[in-house]
């Protein structure tokens, strides 16, 4: 992991930037500016519309008066009609340009509205992003919220093209190498300061986001073998026969030759064109299938082709995009012109004449195959580079929206370690998020998190997991500082039974744990240790069996060199002799409220980690809240001291006095 500088003033809750420099202020100003420009453009467009209508009325009046005054002097009215018609055509061109500018201003205003919604985590105001995790990471994605309605993907990927979305998903699930992380962090830091460039690309990405991501047919054509260029005889015939046909026709008009040679040659070309019509149509249809959409990609390419960068990663990507073949946008525009000429084949009479005189389809196919030979093999790389640049821009949103989030640095030890100060959940808004110090590792130790219902245990595990995902993608993390050695994540947080497959909850948990343990053992000798996050595991069995099973699972994980955290209600686990020596115990607590209003939860959670083991539970209080308490039980029974709580209190007192690295 690269080196980063943590904020100078740590806080238990993330401090927002000052009002003058806050991202919220920037987005608000830009939204208001583009709304004003759009309103101005709307008024201008309305005036042009009235002008077009006036030109039509003048042209119609002039035409009518030309007819009525045909016997006198219609010239002034004819001139008036011509001027009005030309004015209408000119206004139509200008109107199209103004409408395009209007849509641009409206799109930029929308992007800044989305930026405000993104900072506030107003998920209902963010566009839905469709994207599936890799099959092997589906469980982890669901556990942590990487993809889905409330997820990292939706937070970052609302304006990405299909290649950008695919690249971002790949980066979130496949940890980058430490060297690649350094390069990405530099590019992300630079892009976070280039909001105009970013939003120009986001605007085009928003147009592309709804396109079919399957470009295989077009790419197959681009990378395929030519048909016509490998047949020089046909190419020669496509030049010689039209020259002879037109030449003989010209000589026939001069009276030097009869017309039959020209007619015969024209008939021969028509026959040859029809003999190869199926093959030519197949080739032309293959490139036409997605070429229109590629013009939209061309506009996205044109945005980044002129960029310059001080970041090695971003400058390399721009160089790869332009390469030796020139700007992709210009190349795609040339392909579009070739196809426009080829589309004459859909015009019956004109196509018949052009084929009979010029073997038109052969020339259309030759131009397309020459384009393919020159740059067809580069199209896949163009899309890949665009995807990487968009993914960098998406990750840079975290840096620009949350300036105090830190870039993680490499841990002092490479064997498996995470140290984070002020770590929080990246999907929560600033006014909801509570941050904590979290330490995981070294291998041989694990974090045991206890606490009552709703106290924050699962959220802590998800916070760790999502920040690790961001860190290993090269993004800033929701923390004041973080050091992390290379790890691979494995989780068991959301586990469900399956009636269809006949799998009980307990069996489903066992299968998931087997995957986690197997992954840890596979990572034993690799440069990436496993980082496991296990939430309330083995709930589907009795306490005795659960204690034995959890100890065995943890023993296998720790023996494999894995690090991680496990949360549980079962505080007795912390007292197990074999776990006490290797567990770093922390807990969440709540405060029972005596003045809670009817219907409110009668307790307060501060979501702050404390060293030790939880001494309270709240199940009976929650039972009463939902109206299920019996006459024999009450919240007071739950909160009254017991021998077990006295034992745990004494246990916590011992813990608070020890070093985090001392065995219990």
Same domain flag for 416 and 390: no
Rounded Cα gap, residues 602 and 595, in angstroms: 8
The verdict on whether omega for the bond into residue 442 sits within 30 degrees of 0, i.e. cis, is yes
Mean pLDDT of 54-79: 86
Give me the chain's average pLDDT, please: 85
pLDDT digit string (tens) for 614-626?
776 655 555 565 5
- For the stretch 166-220, pLDDT in tens is 999 999 999 999 999 999 999 999 999 999 999 999 999 988 888 888 888 888 8
| Among 587, 609, 586, 583, CA closest to 663 | 583
Is pLDDT larger for residue 46 or for residue 351? 46
Domain boundary among 398, 430, 460: 398
Q: How many of the other CB atoms lie within 10 Å of CB of 292?
A: 10
Our count of domains for the chain comes to 3
CATH of the domain at 567: 3.40.50.300
Distance from C-alpha of 66 to C-alpha of 79, rounded to nearest angstrom: 9
At residue 547, does pLDDT exceed 90? Answer: no
Least confidently predicted of 261-270, 304-313, 413-422: 413-422
**Residue 372 shares a structural domain with residue 474:** no
Question: Burial of 263 by CB count in 10 Å (0-12 exposed, 13-18 middle, 19+ buried)?
Answer: middle
DSSP letters, 39-55, are: HHHHHHHHHHHHHHHHH
The interaxial angle of helices 379-401 and 178-191, nearest 10 deg, is 70
Q: Which residue has the tokens 């008066």?
A: 65
- Digit-coded pLDDT (tens) for 637-655: 444 444 444 444 444 443 3
Asked if residue 25 and residue 54 are part of one domain, the reply reads: yes
* Complete DSSP assignment for 234-294: HHHHHHHHHHHHHHHHHHHHTTSS-SHHHHHHHHHHHHHHHHTHHHHHHHHHHHHHHHHHH
Note whether residue 389 is domain-resident.
Answer: yes
Which carries the bigger pLDDT value, residue 549 or residue 631? Answer: 549
Element (H, E) at 492: strand 487-492
Residues 480 and 612 in one domain: yes
Q: Out of 1-15, 222-236, 418-432, which region has the weakest mean confidence (pLDDT)?
A: 1-15
Question: pLDDT: is 569 or 102 the higher one?
Answer: 102
Cα–Cα distance for residue pair 183/311, rounded to 1 Å:
8
Give the model confidence (pLDDT) of 600-613 as tens digits: 666 778 889 999 88
Task: State the pairing for strand pair 418-423/590-592.
Answer: unpaired
Instruction: Check pLDDT > 60 for residue 88.
Output: yes
For residue 109, the enclosing domain spans: 18-126
Task: Give residue 71's pLDDT band: very low, low, confident or very high (50, 70, 90).
Answer: confident
In DSSP terms, 503 is beta-bridged to: 498
The C-alpha atoms of residue 164 and residue 159 are separated, in whole angstroms, by 9
Q: Are the beta carbons of 421 and 10 closer than 8 angstroms?
A: yes
Q: Considering the domain boundaries, does residue 199 fall inside one?
A: no
Could you report the per-residue pLDDT of 485-496, keeping only the tens digit for each?
Answer: 999 999 999 887
Length of the chain: 664
**Domain-located, residue 182:** no
Same structural domain for residues 320 and 229? yes
Q: Are 509 and 540 in contact (CB under 8 A)?
A: yes
The pairing of strands 481-484 and 610-611 is unpaired
User: According to the model, what pLDDT value does residue 616 have?
Assistant: 66
The pLDDT of residue 286:
76
CA atoms of 473 and 388, how far apart (whole Å): 12
Query: In terms of domains, do 481 and 585 share one?
Result: yes
Indicate if 386 and 421 belong to the same structural domain. no
Q: What is the mean pLDDT of residues 349-372?
A: 90
- Quick check: 441 pLDDT over 90? no
Q: Is the pLDDT of residue 35 over 60?
A: yes
Residue 652: predicted pLDDT: 44
CA nearest neighbour of 204 among 167, 163, 235: 163
Note whether residue 505 is domain-resident.
no
Are 475 and 600 contained in the same domain?
yes
293 pLDDT band, cuts 50/70/90, is confident
pLDDT in tens, 95-123: 999 999 999 999 999 999 999 999 999 99
Q: Are residues 419 and 394 in the same domain?
A: no
In a domain, 460, yes or no: yes
Query: How far apart (Å, rounded) are the C-alpha atoms in residues 372 and 381?
Result: 14
What is the rounded distance in angstroms from the CA atom of residue 212 to the CA atom of residue 421? 42
Percent of the chain topping pLDDT 70: 86
Q: Find the distance separating the first CA and the last CA of the chain, reported in whole Å.
A: 31
Query: Does residue 553 lie in a domain region?
Result: no
């Amino acid at each position: 992991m690269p080196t980063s500088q943590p904020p100078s003033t740590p806080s238990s809750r993330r401090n927002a930037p000052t009002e003058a420099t806050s991202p919220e202020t920037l987005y608000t100003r830009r939204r208001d500016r583009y709304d004003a420009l759009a309103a101005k453009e709307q008024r201008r467009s309305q005036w042009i519309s009235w002008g077009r209508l006036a030109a039509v009325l003048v042209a119609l009046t002039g035409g009518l008066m030309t007819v009525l005054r045909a016997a006198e002097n219609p010239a002034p009215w004819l001139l008036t009609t011509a001027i009005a018609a030309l004015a209408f055509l000119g206004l139509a061109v200008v109107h199209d340009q103004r409408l395009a500018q209007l849509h641009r201003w409206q799109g930029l205003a929308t992007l800044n509205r989305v930026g405000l919604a993104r900072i506030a985590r107003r998920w209902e105001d963010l566009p839905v992003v469709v994207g599936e995790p890799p099959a092997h990471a589906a469980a982890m994605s669901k556990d942590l919220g990487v993809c889905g309605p409330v997820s990292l993907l939706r937070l970052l990927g609302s304006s990405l093209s299909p290649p950008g979305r695919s690249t971002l998903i790949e980066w979130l699930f496949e940890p980058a190498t430490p060297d690649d992380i350094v390069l990405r962090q530099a590019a992300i830091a630079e892009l976070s300061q280039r909001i105009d460039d970013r939003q120009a690309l986001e605007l085009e990405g928003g147009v592309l986001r709804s396109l079919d991501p399957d470009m295989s047919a077009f790419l197959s054509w681009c990378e395929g073998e030519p048909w016509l260029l490998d047949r020089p005889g046909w190419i020669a015939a496509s030049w010689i026969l039209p020259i002879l046909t037109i030449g003989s026709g010209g000589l026939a008009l001069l009276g030097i030759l009869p017309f039959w040679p020209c007619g015969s040659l024209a008939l021969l070309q028509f026959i040859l064109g029809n003999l190869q019509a199926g093959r030519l149509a197949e080739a032309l249809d293959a490139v036409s299938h997605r070429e229109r959409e590629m013009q939209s990609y061309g506009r996205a390419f044109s945005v980044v082709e002129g960029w310059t960068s001080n970041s090695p990663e971003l400058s390399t990507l721009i160089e790869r995009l332009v390469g030796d073949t020139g700007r992709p946008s210009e190349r795609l525009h040339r392909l579009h012109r070739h196809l426009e000429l080829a589309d004459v084949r859909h015009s019956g009479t004109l196509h018949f004449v052009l084929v009979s005189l010029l073997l038109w389809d052969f020339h259309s196919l030759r131009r397309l195959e020459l384009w393919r030979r020159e740059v067809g093999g580069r199209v896949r790389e163009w899309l890949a580079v665009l995807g990487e640049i968009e993914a960098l821009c998406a990750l840079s949103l975290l840096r620009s929206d949350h300036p105090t989030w830190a870039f993680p640095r490499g841990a002092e030890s490479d064997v498996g370690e995470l140290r984070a100060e002020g770590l929080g959940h990246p999907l929560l808004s600033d006014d909801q998020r509570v941050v904590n110090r979290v330490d995981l590792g070294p291998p041989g130790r694990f974090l045991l998190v206890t606490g009552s219902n709703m106290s924050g245990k699962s959220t802590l595990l998800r916070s760790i997991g999502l920040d690790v995902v961001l860190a290993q993608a090269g993004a800033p993390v929701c923390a004041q500082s973080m050091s992390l050695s290379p790890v691979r994540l494995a989780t068991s947080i959301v586990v469900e039974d399956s009636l269809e497959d006949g799998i009980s909850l307990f069996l489903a948990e066992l299968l998931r744990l087997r995957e986690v343990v197997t992954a840890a053992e596979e990572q034993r000798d690799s440069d990436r240790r496993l980082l496991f996050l296990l939430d309330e595991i083995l709930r589907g069995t009795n306490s005795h069996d659960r204690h034995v099973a959890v100890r065995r699972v943890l023993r296998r994980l720790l023996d494999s060199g894995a690090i991680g955290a496990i949360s549980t209600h079962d505080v007795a686990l912390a007292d197990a002799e074999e776990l006490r020596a290797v567990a770093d115990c922390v807990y969440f607590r709540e405060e029972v409220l005596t003045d809670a209003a009817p219907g409110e939860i009668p307790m307060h959670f501060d979501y702050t980690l404390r060293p030790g083991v939880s001494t309270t539970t709240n199940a009976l209080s929650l039972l009463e809240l939902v109206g299920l308490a019996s006459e024999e039980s009450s919240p007071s029974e739950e909160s009254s001291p017991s021998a077990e709580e006295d034992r745990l209190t004494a246990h916590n007192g011992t813990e608070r006095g020890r070093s985090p690295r001392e065995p219990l």
